[in-house]
Amino acid sequence: MKITLFIPCFIDQYYPGAGIGMVRILEKLGHAVEYPESQTCCGQPAFNSGYWDEARSVAETMLDAFRDAEVVVGVSGSCGAMLKVFYPELFHGHPREAEAKALAAKTHEFSSFLVNVLGVGDLGVSYPAKATFHDGCHGLREMGIKREPRELLKHVRGLELVEMKEAETCCGFGGTFSVKFPEISTAMGEVKCASILETGAELVISNDSSCLMQIQGILDRQGKKIRSMHLAEVLANF
């Protein structure tokens, strides 16, 4: 299968490791990957801030970039949800509505693509660590991804997965919310970090790098020694 990569700007600029991990895993499984270089941002910051016209103009760049793709696999639950759930709404009544719907239909989040489309569970990798998993809200509630990352992590040799209390509670990132309401956002993050610390894990894994930026940013500020990694990086440890 020819897989087209969706690497949102955030991953591109700050967390390329997650994208690189995804490339390595998909190629290891024998798939051809392509990456349209004209992709930039999904438009979510403008969309979430109420500037839908601006968001739509950016989103059109993405419609162009992925027009010929067969399947689009993204490494972020949040930006994936933007394409999959919010593009149809953003383009509702717009001349390119059909294109937006078509892109939504062929877009997948990475862990869900591995488990539900490719039928993969065991990637044959090992990563010895005591870890806990944080569910990014967009992946979890907009796309219903909960079982898939755990299914993949279950097969990682040496990885002990400890569930944290309220794993499904938001880390407080929320995109522009995190800088518009930094105090509230940070308080939410502190609650999340307390649940992580309680597990005694040395590593926190998520399928959303934006959550990890929030979590790691707070843990670092608190001087805690816990590391964070994107799911794709853990699974690419071969």
Partner 1 sequence: MGTESIQFHRDADRLTHDLRHRGLIQKALGGYYVKRDEQKAKYTDWQEARTSAAAAKYEAVNHLDKYLLELTEKLEARGTKVFWAADGAEAAEYISSVARNAGVKRIIKSKTMTGEEIHLGPALEKAGLEVVESDLGEFIVQLREEPPYHIVFPSMHLTRGEIDETFQKKLGSPHADTPEELTMIARGVMRQKYCQADMGMSGANFAVAETGHISITENEGNARLSTTLPKVLVSIVGIEKVIPKLEDLAVLLPMLATAGAGQNMTCYNTLLGGPRQPGETDGPTEFHVVLLDNKRTSLLADAEQRDALHCIRCGACLNVCPIFKNIGGHSYGTTYQGPIGSVITPHLRGLQSWKHLSFSSSLCGACHEACPVRIDLHHHLLQNRRNAIAEKSVWWEKPIFAGFAWFMRRPALYRLAAPMLRLGAPVLHAIRGKFFDPARMWTGTRDLPPAPPQSFKEYWRKRNG
Residues near partner 1 (CB under 8 A): 7, 9, 11-17, 19-20, 35, 37-41, 43, 45-52, 54-55, 57-58, 60-61, 89, 137-138, 140-142, 168-170, 172-175, 177-189, 191, 213-214, 216-218, 220-221
Using a 10 angstrom Cβ sphere, with 0-12 exposed, 13-18 middle and 19 or more buried, the burial of residue 39 is buried
Smallest gap from residue 208 Cβ to partner 1 (A)? 12
Q: Which is nearer to partner 1, 61 or 116 (CB)?
A: 61
The two three-digit tokens of residue 143, written as one number: 């796309």
Contact 74, 4 (CB under 8 A): no
Q: Which is nearer to partner 1, 122 or 198 (CB)?
A: 198
The H-assigned helical ranges of 5-67 are: 9-13, 16-28, 44-48, 52-65
Length of the chain: 238
Smallest gap from residue 157 Cβ to partner 1 (A)? 27
Q: Which is nearer to partner 1, 149 or 172 (CB)?
A: 172
Smallest gap from residue 113 Cβ to partner 1 (A)? 18
Spatial separation of the C-alpha atoms in residues 122 and 120, rounded to whole Å: 6
Gyration radius (Cα) of the chain, Å: 17
Q: Which is nearer to partner 1, 156 or 172 (CB)?
A: 172
Contact 62, 39 (CB under 8 A): yes
Dump the DSSP string for 194-211.
HHHHHTT-SEEEES-HHH
43, amino acid identity: G
Q: Which is nearer to partner 1, 73 or 137 (CB)?
A: 137
Q: Which is nearer to partner 1, 151 or 190 (CB)?
A: 190
Smallest gap from residue 194 Cβ to partner 1 (A)? 10
Smallest gap from residue 53 Cβ to partner 1 (A)? 8
Smallest gap from residue 41 Cβ to partner 1 (A)? 5
